[in-house]
Amino acid sequence: MKRNRRVKILATLGPSSSDQAMIEKLFKAGADVFRINMSHTDHALLKTLVERIRAVEAAVERPIGILADLQGPKLRVGTFENKSIVLKEGATFTLDGNDAPGTQERVRLPHPEILSALEPGHRLLLDDGKIKLIVTECDETSATTRVEIGGKLSDRKGVSVPDTTIPVGALTEKDRKDLDAALNANVDWVALSFIQRPEDLAEARKVTRGRAGILAKIEKPQAVERIDEIIELSDALMVARGDLGVEMPLEKVPGIQKHITRAARRAGKPVVVATQMLESMITSPVPTRAEVSDVANAVFEGADAIMLSAESAAGDFPLEAVETMNRVAEEVERDPNYANIMHAQRTEPEATGADTISAAARQIAETLHLAAIVCYTSSGATGLRAARERPTTPIIALSPVVATARRLALVWGTHCVVSEDARDENEMVDRACRLAFKDGFARPGQRIIITAGVPFGTPGATNMLRIAFVGSDGLGGI
């Protein structure tokens, strides 16, 4: 099944989209990767969802990526005597470790690590930023605050601390158990929530040991400040605009999105733009014009993937949401400005043989108007390098490793095929031509360009280019 676009679509599964028939419909409508939100998924359901996705994968004969999104440290206030209170601007309000139900003057914050890290002047944002408190006094057991923006506060509402670096890692005890379950289920990607520092990624990498790619969700100011270090240690990134828009001024989020997207592209790391992309389609079969523009801007920016959250997980129109996102992406990529923007943002290849080969393949393919760039990739690194070039020519990534093909399903422009490695150069050419022909990328008489490594089957050894004609039988010739 050949997509008519380069950007990938990541769809979240949930009550509206968990049965196998709907998963298959979503894939055929355009979803390339499925996200399982571990905030709402137990281990039994995780296993069931993975099995259903793999059954769809076998039915459609295409590799499908699976992303397990870990919950991360969720900070919440305790409960109140009367279920809720109303905070007025200028009032004094205390957060402490006391187990007693909350009152108009105080409430429990069951996170001693936060209380010990707060300092006077730090902000506390409650209930998705609707309530804003400023710390005036604090010690290791309590924090006295001034209410700057008031409102109703009810039981267990969320707390954000944008000015405070939390002195614990991003992996909670729940996350560690969920991570083990996800790895045992053979998911392809694991997303880490609320990371603040590069060390948070190192902790997860010790557990994964290469069994899944690590995707860093950027949703805290501390992560934005150290983005270059985080990019270096991650396998992919997500601009998680929901929590980012709570912890930072909303007007800063679009600029941060562009900065992260471009930085990830320069590094050759996949980047996903997420949250509220087609939010109105939770309850409406059509999006707003502003939402269409939001999706289009992410595609124009060259993001590897765009994501649906509640729209596909819990909305009334999950299939229509995927179809809409697919149509918008296809239309953007047909726009003459799209190719110009991709060209203008292209960066110089790194000083390695493999990067130079990928850059040369893109330039040759575009100059000679070749039908496809076919790259043999065992680890996936060659596929990533080919995508980093953002060529106008389609990319076919051939891998003998099914896990690699599934992981590359998240990567811009890669049409992934699971195929045995070539034994020699003739077989390399014949297999590349046959698959380009079979999957509808090349017609007899057209030419393709092939990148591979010699000796064959050696990961990371991309060192050769070959131009080949697709023969009338679909096989290759010089």
CA distance from start to end of the chain: 27
Nearest Cα residue to 433 out of 371, 385, 382: 371
Q: Which of 6, 8, 217, 220 is catalytic?
A: 217
Which tokens in the block code for residue 268? 């050759």
Annotated active-site residue in 76, 130, 176, 266: 76
Residue 248 CA to residue 145 CA, distance in Å, equals: 20
Q: State phi, psi for 145 to the nearest 5 degrees.
A: -130, 160
Let me know if 303 is exposed, middle or buried by CB neighbors in 10 A (0-12, 13-18, 19+).
buried
CB 214 within 8 A of CB 204: yes
- Helix H or strand E encompassing 311: helix 310-313
Write down the catalytic residue from 35, 52, 220, 406.
35
DSSP output for 262-305: HHHHHHT--EEEESSTTGGGGT-SS--HHHHHHHHHHHHTT-SE
Given the residues 94, 164, 275, 462, the one annotated as active site = 275
The three-point CA angle 109-198-135 to 5° equals 30
* Known catalytic membership, residue 136: no
Which residue type, as a one-letter code, is found at position 83? K
48 is a catalytic site residue? no
Q: 21 to each of 17, 115, 242, how far by Cα in Å?
A: 9, 48, 30
CA atoms of 262 and 475, how far apart (whole Å): 39
**Pairwise CA distance, residues 5 & 83, whole Å:** 50
Closest by CA position to 97, among listed 146, 137, 142: 142
Q: What are phi and psi of 237, to 5 degrees?
A: -135, 160
Say which amino acid occupies 201: L
- 65 in Cβ contact with 44 (< 8 Å): no
Element (H, E) at 376: strand 372-376
Q: Does 76 participate in catalysis according to the annotation? A: yes
Q: ω into residue 63 within 30 of 0, thus cis?
A: no
Is 12 tagged catalytic?
no
The number of helix segments (H) and strand segments (E) in the chain equals 17, 22
Residue 30's nearest CA partner among 13, 48, 7, 49 is 7
Alpha-carbon distance of 323 to 28, in angstroms, equals: 9
Q: What ranges in 150-197 are assigned the alpha helix state H?
A: 173-184
CA distances from 87 to 7, 106, 133, 163, 277 (A): 45, 11, 10, 22, 32
Give the catalytic positions in this structure: 35, 76, 217, 275
